[in-house]
Amino acid sequence: MDGQLVDLMVIVVTLSMMLTPLTFVLNDALGRWLDPAPPVHYDSMEDAEEVPVIIAGFGRVGQIVGRLLNARRIPFTALDASADQVETVRRFGRTAYYGDASRLDLLRAAKADKARLLVVAIDDVEASVRTVQTARAHFPDLRIFARARNRFHAHRLMDLNVELIERETFLGSLDLARNVLEALGTPAPEAALVVERFRAHDERTLRRQHAVYHDEKQLIQTSKEAADELESLFESDRESSAAEGKPVFSPADVR
């Protein structure tokens, strides 16, 4: 069975629970009784017409976001290029549209003019960029968070001033590296700090690379661009290396 299908089934089960009237009422009452925490600060959650979040792309990344929103009873509208996934989401009571999320009519149907946030979780770089471009042009008040496949995709999204860019394998890779360091004997607090420092350094490097990156020249001046980028990376790594030399652990931190 495909992993994405399994992810969808998790949603299906979660949604079906929410929508089974008895379960819903009990769960709701129980929740109010047991949980004194303030609710999520969204004031029209009960109104199915006003959905705060649109998720464009309902694959591995979009499904996790959707499942988590659903667990918090925050409605969302899903857009996906797969008719099967749209069908499944619909059957369990959430709005979903089939098609290319960069189409203005699709975004209008999803009420992008009333939504607060568009999550672009499409893995295809060109489709993702097109979707952000359409949204930016027609819904200037809509906040946009996006999934990026790699550094190049991240730079394209930076060009469009996307508010939050999540490189899809970056955090997982850092977690894997942290575990490798620990397996080789690095104490856990030190490994965590090393990885956190590397994360911050790499994000600075990504922003710095973007400053010397020009989309139009990309295809015609590859070697020039590469040399510029290499130089910028060299400087960035040197600075980071100097900073790494500073003492950061007291013996108490390591233990």
2-21 residues near a copy of itself, rule: CB under 8 A? 2-7, 9-10, 12-14, 16-17
Least gap, CB of 133 to a copy of itself (angstroms)? 19
136 binds a copy of itself (CB under 8 A): no
Which residue in the set 56, 78, 86, 167 belongs to the binding site for a copy of itself (CB under 8 A)? 167
Strands (E), 58-133: 76-80, 96-98, 117-120
Dihedral of the alpha carbons of 218, 222, 228, 229, in degrees to the nearest 10: 70
Looking at the Cβ atoms of 40 and 104, the one nearer to a copy of itself is 40
The minimum distance between CB 94 and a copy of itself, in angstroms, equals 15
Q: Which is nearer to a copy of itself, 105 or 140 (CB)?
A: 140
Q: With residue 147 as reference, give the H or E element that holds it.
A: strand 143-148
User: In this structure, are residues 90 and 114 in contact, taking their beta carbons and an 8 Å threshold?
Assistant: no
CB of 205 to a copy of itself, least distance (A): 7
Rank residues 99 and 187 by Cβ distance to a copy of itself and give the closer one: 187
Q: Is the separation of the CB atoms in 205 and 230 below 8 Å?
A: no
Using the minimum distance from each CB to a copy of itself, give the nearer residue, 35 or 104: 35
For the bound state, the minimum distance from the C-beta of residue 137 to a copy of itself, rounded and expressed in Å, comes to: 21
Give whole-number Cα distances, 169 to 45, 49, 96, in Å.
32, 34, 26
Residue ranges in 55-114 that form contacts with a copy of itself under rule CB under 8 A: 60-61, 63-65, 67-69, 71-72, 74
Alpha helices, H only, the chain: 3-19, 21-34, 60-71, 83-91, 104-109, 125-138, 151-159, 170-183, 188-211, 222-244, 251-254
Residues 199 to 218 in contact with a copy of itself, rule: CB under 8 A: 202, 205, 209, 218
Tokens of 148: 């990026």
- DSSP E strands, 149-211: 164-167
Contact 118, 145 (CB under 8 A): yes
Q: Is 190 in the site for a copy of itself (CB under 8 A)?
A: yes
Rule CB under 8 A: choose which of 142, 208, 229, 252 binds a copy of itself.
Answer: 229
